[in-house]
Structure 1
Amino acid sequence: MTTNASGGDIMRVIEIEGGKGPAEALRLAERPQPTPAPGEIRIRVRAAGVNRPDIVQRLGHYPAPPGASDILGLEVAGEVDAVGEGVTRWKIGDRVCALLGGGGYADYAVVDARHALPVPDNLDFVQAAALPETVFTVFTNVFEGGGLKAGETLLIHGATSGIGVMAIQMAKAAGARVIATSRGAAKAEAALTLGADVSLDATDGDLLAAIKAEGGADVVLDMVGAAYAELNLNALKPGGRWVVIATLTGALAQIDLMRVMLKRIVLTGSTLRSRSTDEKARLTAAVEQTIWPWVASGKVCAKVEATFPLEQAAVAHQRLEAGDHVGKIVLTL
């Protein structure tokens, strides 16, 4: 942080010129340090998670919601640096991680105080910054939307992504069985190491037959989209829940609605970023009560593939877009 000519504090940020590749779109810049409004805290950011929605926003397809920062970054960890009026839970110096609507690729970020969680003593800031987006996404989609219960089987497509890795851990912590799919033998082996009960290489043989041979799924966590629509419908058991959280192969799919009815399939999905502040506060409280004990005990933890300093945000995006990572990519400040 430095001070500008008029005496105000400024900070480093990554700005974007949308619609371009990472090297052309992402640049280091300076902006005034934000001030927390009533009900908000300011975090001195020590680490910020890099997520696929950041790439989609950089490409111009996922604008920040009204009132959110136009700076990339949906999750951070660091110390509370300033406290807005009315905030009673947090004090300056507290170690926190938080889910943001934007603003994470910066030295400082402001957030609704209700959207922050304490960093457990067993985690450093890099590990903590890799948690909010994936933990919140898995909790709200797999457990709330998908209703996964102990003894059921969760089928995870893209199992070595940041969300996939977290879904494996959270499902196992809840007493569920996990069938993982990923592309390539190396990733399939990695998913087994991460705790999946069955790990299938999606590029090797008849994927649907392999899933059916394992008994099918009660819940599908689908990040693939259109290309797997028919497979998911066939792989689900009667009464199964199909949860869509990304559409990497397209958003438009044709499915047999009669089979949806006959199998009593529930098709659902959601996004996090556009939810109201009150809904995010409810979700934060639920995560802290249900999932945070698993994090504090080490039963659920972040798997960080690589870290890059803030000024190398473009390299981090290139690494994520290449698709070779297992786990999360994090910026350090």
Structure 2
Amino acid sequence: MSLDPPDAPWVKDFPLKVFACGEPMDKASGGVRRPWHRYGYCPAFIPWLKAHTRDYDVVTVHGLWNFSTMGARAALVGADVPYLVMSHGMLDPWFKRNFPLKGAMKQALWWFNEGPLVNNARAVLFTSEEERILARQSFTPYRAKERVVAYGTSDPGPLRPGQTEAFRALVPNLRRPYLLYLSRIHPKKGCDLLIDAFAEIARDGDGVDLVMAGPVSDDYFAELKALAERRGIADRIHWPGMLRGDAKWGGFHGCEAFVLPSHQENFGIVVAEAMACAKPVFITNKVNIWREVTAGGGFADEDDRPGVVRLLRRFAALSLDERQVIGERARAIFLSSFEVSRAAEDLNDACRDAMAGRT
């Protein structure tokens, strides 16, 4: 069940049955978008849930702070159907600290909507130990029955023919080995810290370049390029834009290491993808899977300039053999913790336990 338009191509192409109760795309595109539509308001959603919830053995609610959770609270709290809530990072206190007005509004919503939904669930599912710990700091009252489950992505496999060429076509001036950043290019991701820190190791020699891959606004792109110019490393940074398909996997497989200096990251699928490609990863301790990463597959430090400088200096100090060993460990961690079949097993176990009355 979702709030998607029923005529959306991703709904039609989905391999399982989807009950999409949103407004049709042709109607939505031609009309005025009301403020409540941004919240996901759909008049058919709550009646459908109340009428059909008991057709299912267990219900999983994905995400918070939208109309689907309001419908879930109305239909599930107090009903005799067990349900789970997967927060997907939406209980992270980072948002409350950085957007206090929104945080106050969410606390009000918590008292009558999200709070009852979360506190009455058979289990609230988190994708890392760090996410579970941080969730306790956001809203009150908080009485969730917490459970950490695996999360991740499919194994991309080894480098395939054409992948390197697809990537290299997007970075024609790249001649050196390189560090890879691949994510949305946004202030939240610590991109300015990365460029500043990279300047510190770049001036020590011609070891590596930096590839900054991802979508970016024109204003922020100009700001980052100006920073690179001021630090004298503009020719050492490459901007291929968004990487997809073969170019993406060519970029992963060809890099020396992967870097993500985010100020907040609930999971970081790109981190798991880099580990799947047997690459050492260097992240901040605000990427919530840092505990798993630092079990042998990479390093984590603070999300400030000194922390990111330490990360890159740590990379520069590694020998080629050490990078290979850490990369092999990273892949082993991916297979044991982040490969998608592990996530499916954990979610199935959580559903079975909910049906059996276990948490």
Question: Structure 1-normalised TM-score?
Answer: 0.28
Question: Which structure has more RCO (C-alpha within 8 Å, separation ≥ 6)?
Answer: 1
Structure showing greater Rg: 2
More helix by share: 2
